[in-house]
Each structure stands twice: as C-alpha cells, then as structure tokens.
Structure 1
Amino acid sequence: MWFTFVLLQLLPQFALGARCPNRCVCDIKGSAICTGDITDIPPLDPTTTFQLVLNDTNIKILKDRSFQPFSLLLRLMIINSPLDTIQPEAFHGAPQLLSIKLSLTALSVFPPKVFSEQRNLEQLQLDGNRITSISSDLFEAMVNLTELNLSKNRISQLDANVFQGLTKLNYLNLADNQLRNLPRTLFHNLLQLRSLMLSSNQLETLESGSFDHLSNLLILMLHKNKIREIPPRLFWPLPFLSTLFMSANQLRYIPAESFYYLPNLIKLTIFKNPLISLPYQLMGHMPRLQELYLYETNLSTVPWNLFANMTNLVTLNLHFNNKLTSLPKNLFCCLPKLKKLSLKYNNLQELDPELFSNLASLRALMLNENKLESLPSAIFRNSSRLETLDLNNNHLRYLPGDVFLHAIALKDLSLSGNKWICDCSILDIAEWIRENPELISDLDKGVTCYEPYRLEHHPLQTLTYEELHCGVLQTTFIATSAITTGAPATTTLQTSTATTSTRATNAANATTTATTPTDASLLFPTSEHIYVKQGNGNDNGLVFYDTIVLDNGPEIVHNNHFNAWVYLWTVPSTGPYSGFMMALYIVLLVSGVVLIVIILYALYRLHKVILLSGEVAMGENQRILTRI
C-alpha cells in the first residue's frame, strides 16, 4: 500500500517529465523554467503550462502568435536574453495573459499594436531594455493594467496621451531613463495611481499642475534629477502622500509653503541640494512624519520653526552641511519622540544650552566632525535617555565636569580627536573620565592633551593636580588634640601664597570651610598639602568629585558662585594692612554715628521753628479778628 501511494504521487511528475522539453524544468503547478541554448519558444504541453519563464536563453525574435498554442498561459517572463525583435502580432492569440515581463533584453522598439489584444493584462514589466521611445497607442487596449515598469531604458520623451487609457494603473516606474521634461497632462488620467517613480532622469523643471489629479498618490520619487526649481503648491493636491524624495537635485531655493497640506507624509528627503536658505513658512502640519533627511546643502542656518510641526519625528539627519555654523535655540522645541539626531560633519562652533532641552526621548546624538570648543554644562540636563553620544574630531578644549551628570543612560561616548587644553580647568572632566572609563568607546584612540607641549598626548584620565601645578608647596598643619576629644577644635593654616578661586563642578551645592572644623574627618594632613573633602559629604553630589585643595591660610570671609566657580574672598589675619583696614573701619563707623546725630539734631531744630511760626501766625490772625 505504501509503495502504491508513493507511485501515485510520483506518477504525475513522471508524466510531466516525459512531456517537458530538454533544457526546461516543469512542475506540477504548471510552471516551466527554460534556460540555456534555446532560440525559440519550446514545445511545452499547452494543457498544463500556466507560467513560462525563459531565463538566460538565446531567443532573439518573438514571432507572430508565438503564444497562441498556450491557451492556459497566464504569466510570461523573458529575462536576460539577446531578444531584439518583436513581430507586430507576437502576442496575438493569447488574450488571457495577466503578466508579461520582458527585462534585460536588447529591445529598443515595440510595434504600436503589439499588445492590442491584452485587455486582461494586469502587469507589464519592460525594465532594463534599450527602449528610446513609446508609441502613444502602445498601451491603448490595457484597460485593466495596474502595474507598468519602464525603468532603466533610454526614453527621452513621452507623448502627453501615452498613459491616457490606463485608468486603473496604481504603479508607474519611469526611473533611470533620460527624460528631460514631462507634459503637464501626462498623469492626469491616472486617478488610481499610488506609486510614481521618476528618479534618475534628466528632469530640470516640473510644470505647475503636473500632479493635480493624483489625489490617491502615496509614493513620489523625484530624486537624482537636475531639478532647479519647483512651482509653488506643486504637492498640495497630494493629501495622502506618505513618501516624498526630492534629494540629489539642483534646488537652491524652495518656495514658501511648498510642503503644506501633507498630513500623511511619513518620510521626506531633500538632501544633496545646493540650498542656500529655507523660508520660515515651508513645512505644514505633518503629524505622521517620522524620517527627515536634510544634508549636503549650502545652508548656514535654518529657520527656528523648521521642525515645529513634526511632533512624531523619530529620525532627523541634519548633517554634512559644511556651511552650517549655528542652530536656533528653539530648533528642536517640538520633537518629543525624536530618538536619533545626527548633526555630524557640520561647521558648528557652539551650541545653545537649551538646544536639546525638549528632546526627552533622544537615544543617539551625533555631534562629531564639527568645530565645537566646549559645551554648556546644562546642555544634557533633560537627556536622561541618551545612550550614544559622539563628540570626536571637534575642537573641544575642555568640558564642564558635570556636563554628563544627567545623562544617566549613557553607554557609548566618543571623545577622541579633540584639542584638549590640559590646565587646571580640565581636572573635573578628567576626574569624570577616570571614574567612568567603561562609557568611553575610544579611550585608547586619543583622548589626550593637545596643549601645553609638555603634556602633549598625555591621557586625560591620568592627569593630577601636581602635573598641572594646581597646588602650592610648603603648607603646614597644626591641630589640637581637642578634635579627638570632642572639645572645640583649633586649626592653624599657613601657606606661602594664596589662591582666589577653587574650581567646582556644582557650585550651587558647594559648601566648604577652612577654619575651625567641628569634624576631624574633614581635614587630611599630608606632608605638603591640605586636602578638604566636599562639604556635604555626599558622594552622589560630586561637588568636587574627590577633593579640593585650599592653598591659603588667611580667614575666608565670603564666597561667591559664578559660572560653576566658587570664589573665596580672603583677608590677611595679621600685618599692617589688617591694622589699617581696622582703623579705617573704626573711622568710618564713628563718622557715621556723628552724621546720624547731626541729622537728628537738625530735624529737632527744624521741628521747633515750624511750631513757633505756627503760633505767631495764629496770634496775628486773632488780632485781625478783634479789630474787625
């Protein structure tokens, strides 16, 4: 029984094999694939052949009624062959065909009526041939055609009526031809068109109204042409357009309001155009836009509201604009869902502290290959989801030590190829690098000092106070034993010089004292320096990350916070200058008291004079009344 079952299964295959010509492979589903040295249509079984594929054969001519015997044939493919001639009635007698593919052949012309019986044809692919022109009545009978591919030919012009009868067409590919212009009414009858490919031609202009009747169009490809200008409102009749490619053209200007009334747009590319400027009224409401590519232009800046109507934007590529020197403060104001922002290979020299403040979803930020010299300390304060940050090959000289404090999700940071100046201001970021080496992907590729010469190529993470001469020698420490007994402590500091400022990474939280500490753990004596820990004792605050050095002994009388620095104001505790200041203070105090007494006496005398004058006036009035 098992043998019988297998035999019954294989019997149709054996029968097919017996009737399948040499150099062809036939299957039970009715498909025949023929290759090799075949010069004519092979004699296949017309009662079982539904699909015929002639791939890589030597067929050079299709004779009249070549497919008439195949009454059940629905799909025909002739690919990669030297076919160069089609007789006028080659497809006559095969009206049932649904799909014809003649690709990668030597065909240059078609007889005008060759497809006159193909009323049922749905798909016609003529790509990769040598066609130079199309007869205006070639597609006249194809009332049910939905897909037409004429790409990768040599067509230089089209008659205005060539697609007039294709009212059901939803896909038209004219890419990779030599079209220089398009008749204004060329697409007016294609009311069902969904995709229109016009890329890689020689188009220089587009006439106003060219797309006026394509209200169902979803995809429009105009990239890789020579378009120098577009008429105003060209895309307004395309309310359902989801993809628009305008890249790699010759546009220097784009008319105002060009991208209005495109609420369904998802992807827009306008890169590789020599754009000089963009109008403020360019982008309309685009709530579904997710990808925007604007790079390789001549823009020096962009309008602040360019992306304001793109609230669902996820990817923004604004890079390779070598003349782009600045970005408006509110440029990224309205992109709450943006995850990837590329600003690499621009000419940016500085960034506003608020530039990224509204990008709460940002995951990847590319700032490499610019001319940034530093970054504001608060620029990433709202970037808690930032994972990848590329800053390599800029002109960075230093960074604030707390610049990455709020980027808690950071996993991949690039810092190489910059011009770090290794002085005392670099210590904070050097300390951060030393504590977070696993976050820096290019630590071994050149995160090193650029200046001064003596520290050139010195790794930032190994810098010390001593190497940068930020400390002062010969500082002594004397403390009474009362510190350990709980009694009030007495501390004496003596130094050879005094510093006027101490670098802090979070000045708002810095509270440091150098006199009479109540906790002995605040002071650590060494042979040459006194190191004072951060005042709040909280390692998470990282005010000074580890320690600071106070280099002077006089009493600190005041501190000031400014631009992430803590200024410590001091006066000498002894000496003639101190005595002079005290004497001056007393003189000023006494002078002030004397002046106050004089003023009070003058006010008292003035009050007496006013009262006396009032009494005299009243007496005079009474005498006058008595006489009357």
Structure 2
Amino acid sequence: MWFTFILLQLLPQLTLSTPCPSGCVCHIRGSATCIGNITEIPPLDPTTTFLLWLNDTNIKVLKDRSFQSFSLLQRLMITHNTLDTIQPEAFHGAPQFQSIKMSSNALSVFPPKVFSEQSNLEQLQLDDNQIVSISSELFKGLVNLTELNLSKNRIAQLDADVFQNLTKLIFLNLAGNQLRNLPRTLFHNLRQLKSLALSSNQLETLESGSFDHLSKLLLLTLQKNHIREIPPRLFWHLPSLLTLSMSGNQLRYIPAESFYYLPNLTKLTLYKNPLISLPDQLMGNMPRLQELTLYETNLVTVPWNLFANMTNLQFLNLHLNDNLTSLPKDLFCCLPNLKKLSLRHNNLRALDPELFSTLTSLQILILNGNKFESLPATIFRNTSRLETLDLNGNHLGYLSGDVFVHTRALNVLSLSGNKWKCDCSIMGIAEWIRDNPRIINDLDKGVACYEPYHLQNHPLQTLTYEELQCGRSVFQTTFMTSSIPTEVPATSSLQSSSASSTKAATSTEPSTLSTFATTASLFPPTSDRIYIKQGNYYNNDPVFYSTIVLDNGPEIVHNNHYNGWVYLWTVPSTGPYSGFMMALYIVLLVTGVVLIVATWYALYRLHKVMWVLGRVTMGDNQRIMARRVRSFKVKL
C-alpha cells in the first residue's frame, strides 16, 4: 500500500515508455523539455505533447509550419537560444496555441502576419530580444490576447494603431526599450488594461489624454525616462490606479492638481527628479495611499499641506534632498497611521517642537545625516510607540536629559558621529545614556565628546561632574533660551526676579523640569548656594539663599529647603497637565471662598443664638431674685 502511494507521488516525474528524442525529457503528463545541441524542432509524439520547452539549444530558425503536426500543443517556450529568424508561416497550422514565450533570444524582426492564425493566443512574451520595430499588422489577429511582453528590446517607435485589436489585453510591458514618444491614441482601445509598464525608455514628454481611456488601470510605471514635463490632468481619468511611479525623470515642476482624482492610489514614487518646488495644491484625496517616496530632489521646502489628504499613509521617504533646509510646522498634521518616516541626509538644521506631535503611530524615525545641533526637549512627547530612532551623523552638541522620557517603546537608538559639547549641560543626556546602554546600538562607534579638546573622544556615559568642573552641585536640567536671574533673594517675587534677569547665550529650547532634588550636604558649608548656568558660566554668587524663585520663560520654577534637600518644582504653562492644575487651582480657590463665607455665616448665627440665650438667662435670673425678695418680706 505504501509502495503504491509513493509510486503515485512520483508518477508526474516518470518519463513515458514511448521513445523520446535525444536531448529531451518527456513527462507522462504531456510536457517535454529539450536542451543542448538541437538545431530544429525535435520529432516528439504529437498525440501526447501539450507543452514544449526548448531551452538553451542551437535552434536559429523557425521554419514554416514547424508546429503543424502538434495538434494538441498549447504552450510553447523557446528561451535562451540563438534563434534569430522566424519564417512568415512558422506558426501557421497551429491555431490552438494559448501561450508562446520566446524570451532571451536574438530576434530582431517579425514577419507582419506570423501570428495571424493565433486567435486563441492569450499570452505572448517576446522580451529580452533585439526587436527594433513592430509592424502595425503583427498583433492584428490576437483578439483574445491578455498578456503582451515586449520589454528589454530596442523598439524606438510604435504606430498609433499597433494595439488597436487587442481589446482584451490586461498586461502590457514596454519597459526597457528606446521609446522617445508615444502617440496620443496608442492605448485608447485597451479599455481592459490593468498593468502598463513604460519604465526605462527615453520618453521626454507625454501627450495630454494619453491615458484617458484606461479607467481599469491598476499599475502605471514611468520611472527611469527623460520626462521633463507632464501636461495638466494627465492622470485624472485613472480612478482605479493603485501604483504610480514617476521616479528617475527630469521633472523640475509638476502642474497643480496633477494627482487629483486618484482615490484608490496606494503607492506613489517621485524620487530622483530635479524638482525645484511643488505647488500648494498638488495632491487630491488619497485615503488609501500607504507609501510615498520623494527623495533626491532640489526642493528647499515643501508645502505644509502636501500630505494633508493622505490619512492612511504608513511609509514616507523624504530623504537625500541636499537643499531641503526646513519643514513646515504642520507638515505631518494629518498622518495618524504613519509607521516609518525617513528624513535622513537632508540639510535640516532645526525642527519645530510640534513637528511630530500628531505621529502617534510612528515606529521608525530616521534623522541621520542632517545638521541638527540640538533638538527641542518636547519633540518626541507624543511618539510613545517609537521603536527605532537614528540620530547619528548630525552636529548634535546637546540634548535635554528628558528628551526621550515619553518614548517608552524605544529599543534602538543611534547617537554616534555627533559633536557633543561636554560642559555641564551635557550631564542630563549623559546620565540617561548611562542608565539605558542597551538601547543605544552604536556606543562602541563613538558616542563621545567632540569638545573641549582635553575631553575629546571621552565616552559620554562615563562623564562625571568632577571631570566637567561643574562645582559641587549643578542643575541636571539646563535652562536654555530662557531668562535666568542673576541674584534672587528668598523674599523676591516672580516679577522682581524677571526684572533682574539676563538672557542665556544658547540656541535651543528649555527642557521641562521634573521634580528634582540635590542634597544640601553638597553645598558649601558656609552658605546655602546653588549653581545656575548663565551663558557659558556657572553662577555661585553667595546671594543665593535657601529659597529662590527662578524665571524660566513661560514656566514657573520654585525651590525650597526641606530636611536637608533642595526641591525644584515646575508647572508647564501649556498642555493637559497645566490645564488640570489650573482647573484644580480654581476649584480649590472657589472651595476656599465658599468655606470662608460659610464660616462667617455660621459665626453670625452662633452669635445671634448666644445673644438670645443670654437675654433669656438674664430674665430668668431676675424673676428668681424677685421671688426670693418677696418671700423674704413675707417672713419678716
């Protein structure tokens, strides 16, 4: 039983018992494969051969009626041969063919009516030959053809009516030829077409209306041509289009509204074009777009609403743009599903603190190879799902110690190749690195000091306050671009401290301080003082007392001594936490007022009751005394 089962499994591989020509392998299911030193069609059994594959043979010519005797032959593959000549009636007498594949041969010319009897043919592959021209009559009889592959040839021109009779064609591949232009009506009869490949040609222009009748087209590839301009509304009549590739051309401008009415588009590529600018109104509603590539251009910036209609976008490649220096604040406003964003190797120098605030699904963010000197402390506050972040190869000299506090899913971080300035302001991020070494994947590649010279190449994670000569106590969070008071006594108000403040000579934004404590034992024993960064120096003036008020821009920072510690507190001026604290403050204030009024009213009522009770008690006492007097008189 097991032997029978194994035999049935191997049955398709067994060859026929009937004689099979030398150099061929004949299978029981009716297929034959012939290779080697064969110069003509082998004499196979015509009553059993359904499929014939002639691969890597020496056949150079297909003679007239070569397949007339193969009445059951439906699929013919002649590939990787020296075949260079097909006689005019080579396929006559074999109208039953459904598939003919003649790829990777040396064919350059086809007789005009060689396929005139192949009305049942569905698949014709002539790719990777040396075809120079196609007669307008070559495909005239192929009324049932659904797939035509003419790629990787040398076709420079096509007649306007060459595909006129291919009304059932679904796949057309013309990639890898030498086409310079396309007749306007070339594809007008191909109303069932779903895939059109025109990549890797020499197209310079596209005529208006070229794709107007392709309402069922799903794939259109135009990359790697020399297209310098496209007419307005070129793609407006492609409502079913899923993929559009325009990369690798010479486009400097794109007409406004070019990508309107493409509601089903899922992938759009525009990279490797010398684009100088993009119009404000370029993209229509694309609710299904998932991938967009726009790199290697000459763009300096992009319109703020470029991605506004792409709510389902998941992969965005906006990198390798050497002239791209800035990004609008609201550029990523409407991309709640974006998972990967690449901004690598642009010329970006700064990012708005709110740039990534709406990217709540972001998992991969690539920022390497730009010129960032620092990043806002709140730049990643809404990217809680971020897993991979690449910051290497920038000019980073400073990062806030709590810049990654909200990236709870972060597990791969690259920080090498930056210009870290190892002064006291670096200690926040240095300590974070020391606490999270497994997250940084390039610690061994140089996450080290760039300056000052005596600390050059010193690893950040091993820095100490003593090495940086920061005194005995420093703020672990540096106040940047904020007003720092030079002298603030314990009794000073917030306004007086602001009035006597000076601006810090730095360029990055202030980080949000969390509750922070420094042991008082670290202060000099003779006075309570704290070191405040002011410009590039640290203020240790003895006028700082145990309680001070600092002005930190819109945020209020307060510290106080308790049990040998100095506590610093801050309340952010914006955000949900600030709103909650303000609401709580109002509630407490109202409650206090109500309690005061209630207490006053209660005291008033108590006073009134006591006054009434006092009068009643006095009257009772008078009556008792009067009775006692009368009683005494009677006794007398």
Partner of 2:430, secondary structure, is helix
Q: In structure 2, do the counterparts of structure 1 residues 61 and 434 end up closer, same or farther at CA, with 3 Å as the change threshold?
A: same
The aligned counterpart of 1:434 is 434
Q: Structure 1 residue 555: deviation in Å?
A: 2.1
Q: Aligned partners of 2:8 and 2:469: how far apart in 1?
A: 94
Q: What is the TM-score when the length of structure 2 is the normalising length?
A: 0.77
Cα shift at 1:531: 11
Cα 1:526–1:355 shift into 2, 3 Å: closer
Mapping of 1:379-390 within 5 angstroms? 379-390=379-390
Residues 1:227 and 2:217 are matched in the alignment: no
Residue 24 of structure 2 is matched in structure 1 by 24
Mapping for residues 451-490 of structure 1, pairs under 5 Å: 451-471=451-471
Which residue of structure 2 lines up, in the alignment, with residue 357 of structure 1? 357
| Structure-1 residue corresponding to 2:418 | 418
Tell me what 1:558 maps to: 548
Q: CA deviation digits over 1:198-255, x for unaligned, max 9? A: 0000000000000010011000000000000000000000000000000000000000
The alignment yields a C-alpha RMSD, in angstroms, of 3.0
Q: How does 1:393-412 map to 2 (within 5 A)?
A: 393-412=393-412
Q: Is residue 46 of structure 1 aligned with residue 36 of structure 2?
A: no
CA distance, structure 1, for counterparts of residue 432 and residue 335 of structure 2: 30
2: distance between equivalents of 1:2 and 1:283? 64
CA distance in 1, matches of 2:356, 2:236: 32
Write the letter of the residue equivalent to 1:362: L
Change (3 A) 1:35 1:408: same
Q: Note if contact 2:419-2:450 (Cα within 8 Å) is conserved in structure 1.
A: yes
Q: 1:454 to 1:511 in 2, by over 3 A?
A: closer
Q: Distance in 2 between matches of 1:391 and 1:3?
A: 64
Partners of 1:315 and 1:339 within 8 A in 2: yes
1:35 aligned counterpart, secondary structure:
strand
Size of the aligned set, in residue pairs, is 523
Matched position secondary structure for 1:103: coil
More deviation, 62-71/463-472: 463-472
Q: Tell me, which stretches of 5 or more residues in structure 2 are unaligned? A: 474-500, 531-537, 561-636
* 8 Å contact kept, 1:385–1:407: yes
**1: distance between equivalents of 2:511 and 2:168?**
68
Hey, what does 2:70 align to over in structure 1? 70
Give the structure 1 partner of residue 185 of structure 2: 185
CA contact (8 A) 1:501 1:566 kept: no
Distance 1:449 1:3, change over 3 A: closer
SS at match of 1:16: coil
Whether the 8 Å contact between 1:505 and 1:564 is mirrored in structure 2 is no
**Is 2:280 aligned against 1:254?**
no
Shift, 1:558, TM fit: 3.1
Q: Displacement, 1:306?
A: 0.3
The corresponding residue for 1:495 is none
Residue aligning to 2:345: 345
Q: Is the 8 A contact 1:67 1:90 kept in 2?
A: yes
The within-5 A match list for 1:181-330 is: 181-330=181-330
Aligned-residue identity in percent = 71
* Structure 1: stretches of 5+ with no match in the other structure: 474-498, 514-521, 534-547, 571-628
Runs of 4+, deviation exceeding 6 Å = 1-15, 499-506, 526-533, 548-551, 564-570
Partner of 1:109: 109
Quick one: distance in 2 between partners of 1:272 and 1:506? Answer: 38
Map 1:607-626 to 2 at 5 A. none
Aligned partners of 1:113 and 1:137 also within 8 Å? yes
Q: What is aligned with 2:58? A: 58
| CA-CA distance at 1:18 after TM superposition | 3.2
- Partner of residue 593, structure 1: none
Which amino acid counterpart does residue 371 of structure 1 have in structure 2?
K
Contact 1:500 1:567 (C-alpha < 8 Å) held by counterparts: no
TM-score (norm 1): 0.78
Q: Which residue of 2 aligns with 1:331?
A: 331
CA distance in 2, matches of 1:58, 1:418: 61
Amino acid aligned to 2:552: F
Structure 1 residue 561 displacement after superposition: 4.2
Take 2:317 and 2:303, find their aligned partners in 1: how far apart are those partners? 16
1:12 Cα shift?
A: 10
Q: Structure 1 residues 5 and 262, CA, compared in 2 at 3 Å: closer, same or farther?
A: closer
Answering whether residue 174 of structure 2 is matched by residue 174 of structure 1, we say yes
Compared CA separation, residues 405 and 111, structure 1 to 2 (3 A)? same
Q: Provide the C-alpha distance between the structure 2 equivalents of 1:511 and 1:71, rounded to a whole number of angstroms.
A: 90
Per the alignment, do residues 175 and 415 of structure 1 end up closer, same or farther by CA in structure 2, a change over 3 Å counting?
same
Paired with 1:308 and 1:14, the residues of 2 have a C-alpha distance of 61
For the Cα contact (< 8 Å) 1:53–1:76, is it kept in 2?
yes
